[in-house]
Structure 1
Amino acid sequence: MDDWVIRLIEGGGYWGIALLMVLENLVPPIPSELIMGVAGVALARGTMSFAPVLLAGTAGCTLGNYILFLIADRLGYERMEPLVDRWGRWLTMEWHDVERAGRFFRRHGHWIVFVMRFMPMFRTLISVPAGLSHMRHVPFLLYTAAGAAVWNTLLLMGGQWLGHRFTEAGQWIGWATLALAAITMAWYFWRVLTWKSTR
């Protein structure tokens, strides 16, 4: 987990970054912290440019979230409830969790889509209640893109800062992200094993 991570990002180029950011929202845990953090290290090495990386990462993040939004928007509450009831254990949620998220979304307004982009677990999940509530597509895309751009800028600047000051920055980011992914997966499996329906 050293230079090969950076070479993977560099080899894929800007299109590769965009694709990884799409997958980050659909196939967790592929954390944006790793993707954009390592891209920041590549910026420090001078092998990539800031603006294209930011554009690719933001476009990929927005597209990935929009896919989730469209799925929820097309399904709606009525068609989604049987799916949640059937696969609740693996989703580690029940229907009242979905309803509660929907009420939270409606209570706090559409700006919550922007704010949630800065919260590791919720920045992807917020697309579901937004879709179920049939939020207008253009505001959703604008809030999502704006939040993703700010978050990605912070990650790129952090990775770039580390890359300028520490030659082992890529290794540190890689191992830290693997540890985070392992903890997340362990937490998920614990939730699945201990999950009990309240119905």
Structure 2
Amino acid sequence: MESMILSFVEYLKQFGYIGVIIALTFEFVPAELVLPLAGYWVYEGDLNFWGTVIAGTVGGTLGPLTLYAVGRYGGRPFLLKYGKYVFIREKEIKAADDFFEKYGAGVAFFGRFLPGVRTTISVPCGMAKMNVWVFSIYTFIAMFPITAFYVYLGEKFGPKWKEAGPMVKEYMGPIALVIVAALIVLVLIKYNKHRKLKNS
């Protein structure tokens, strides 16, 4: 199956950045394959690094929107019936449901960093009728550093780009913690400024 997906992505290479966007719009095409391969194309000089990162982030936002729509208009029964055809299993749907119930709307951001939840988290967001713009913004912000990391490693590994996917999975947890810590610091700074202005 991986060879078929790679052949499909290689075919899309002729369309440049649009090809990267299209490849990632299909949720059954793993970003773990597409983005390091796109990084390899950067290594070969066929694409620009930042152009690839932007294209990958846009594609990585459009793809989840399709599952968001499934959740919003088709619901869980639809995905349970047809999800197997795009490699989405019931246990992954349940994990996403549980994660959404526990953490609320923020999962559209944090869920992107968690294997086993990253793809299917869009479905409960749709089922909860989360604002589509909020969902898209959270997804875009989360996908940007993930995409940049994948593309960077794909470029650095060059012909050994396939080794990038497993490495990103290994470091995804720590990356998420750093981002969450940074967000908490920003929120605290903003809160302190607001409190000082209120008290002055």
| TM, length-normalised to structure 2 | 0.66
Structure-2 separation of matches of 1:89 and 1:32? 18
Are residues 159 and 99 of structure 1, via their aligned partners in 2, closer, same or farther at CA, if it must alter by over 3 Å? Answer: closer
Q: Is the 8 A contact 2:23 2:59 kept in 1?
A: yes
- Say yes or no: does 1:33 pair with 2:24: no
Structure 1 letter corresponding to 2:56? G
Structure-1 separation of matches of 2:84 and 2:11? 35
- Say yes or no: does 1:54 pair with 2:53: yes
In the alignment, structure 1 segments of 5+ residues that lack a partner are 178-199
- Say yes or no: does 1:119 pair with 2:114: yes
Structure-2 separation of matches of 1:153 and 1:16? 17
- Say yes or no: does 1:42 pair with 2:33: no
1:120 positional shift: 3.3
Q: State the number of aligned residues.
A: 158
Q: Is the 8 A contact 2:93 2:120 kept in 1?
A: no
2:67 alignment counterpart: 68
In the alignment, structure 2 segments of 5+ residues that lack a partner are 167-200
Structure-1 separation of matches of 2:42 and 2:130? 36
Structure-1 separation of matches of 2:119 and 2:83? 18
Structure-2 separation of matches of 1:42 and 1:98? 34
| TM, length-normalised to structure 1 | 0.66
Are residues 107 and 22 of structure 1, via their aligned partners in 2, closer, same or farther at CA, if it must alter by over 3 Å? Answer: same
Are residues 19 and 86 of structure 1, via their aligned partners in 2, closer, same or farther at CA, if it must alter by over 3 Å? Answer: closer
Q: Is the 8 A contact 1:20 1:60 kept in 2?
A: yes
Structure 2 letter corresponding to 1:73? R
2:17 alignment counterpart: 14
- Which whole-Å deviations, capped at 9, do the CAs of 1:6-40 have from their partners, x for residues lacking one? 964642311111010011x1xx2x22121110111
Q: Which has the higher contact order (CA 8 A, sep 6+)?
A: 1
Structure 2 letter corresponding to 1:152? T
1:93 alignment counterpart: 90
- Which whole-Å deviations, capped at 9, do the CAs of 1:112-164 have from their partners, x for residues lacking one? 2211212233211000011111111111001111111111111011111112x
Structure-2 separation of matches of 1:56 and 1:114? 19
2:126 alignment counterpart: 131
SS of the aligned residue for 1:124 comes to coil
Are residues 123 and 98 of structure 1, via their aligned partners in 2, closer, same or farther at CA, if it must alter by over 3 Å? Answer: closer
Are residues 46 and 107 of structure 1, via their aligned partners in 2, closer, same or farther at CA, if it must alter by over 3 Å? Answer: same
Percentage of identical aligned residues? 26
Structure 1 letter corresponding to 2:73? R
Q: Is the 8 A contact 2:96 2:120 kept in 1?
A: no
RMSD of the TM alignment (CA)? 3.2
